[in-house]
Amino acid sequence: MENTKNLLLVDDDPDSLDLMSQALSDAGYAVVCCATSKEAVRCALEKPFDLVITDLMMESLDSGFSLSRWIKEYTRPREVPVVVVTAIGRQCGYDFNPRSPEELRAMFADAYLEKPVPAQVLLEQVQSLLHRQEVLENNHE
């Protein structure tokens, strides 16, 4: 399939990784899975991705934030959309849910989803961000 979008999925929870990867693959996306932010950086350097989905807490509490920032800075001028998916609120009681577009941008993210994420919600968010990215790129040509 020529128009297959390449997604990078980063999560240290094997069950979450499997569930999200399966839903995205079933929807026709090419998915590369990584269990750490360091592994994700290596993958991103080897191959361009159309969108990145990352957990927040992996090797450290802020590894997902660090990865999101790196992705945004590394992929300029074509900023790759980043979806943050986390259970940090449920697990630790932290509330990172952005309340404004500015707070979302401060996270270096384009979307924020709480785990467990229903497959349909994840797919709708991915489709929306990829569509928005296409529109932006077409307007810059």
pTM for the whole structure: 0.90
Q: What is the CATH number of the domain that holds 20?
A: 3.40.50.2300
Instruction: Give the residue, 88 or 65, on which the prediction is more confident.
Output: 65
| 22-33: pLDDT as tens digits | 999 999 999 999
Work out how many domains the chain is built from and give that number: 1
Question: In sequence order, what E strands does 22-117 have?
Answer: 30-34, 51-54, 82-86, 111-114
Cis-peptide into 77, omega within 30 deg: yes
Q: Which range of residues forms the domain containing residue 54?
A: 6-140
| 66-96: pLDDT as tens digits | 999 999 998 876 789 999 998 865 555 555 6
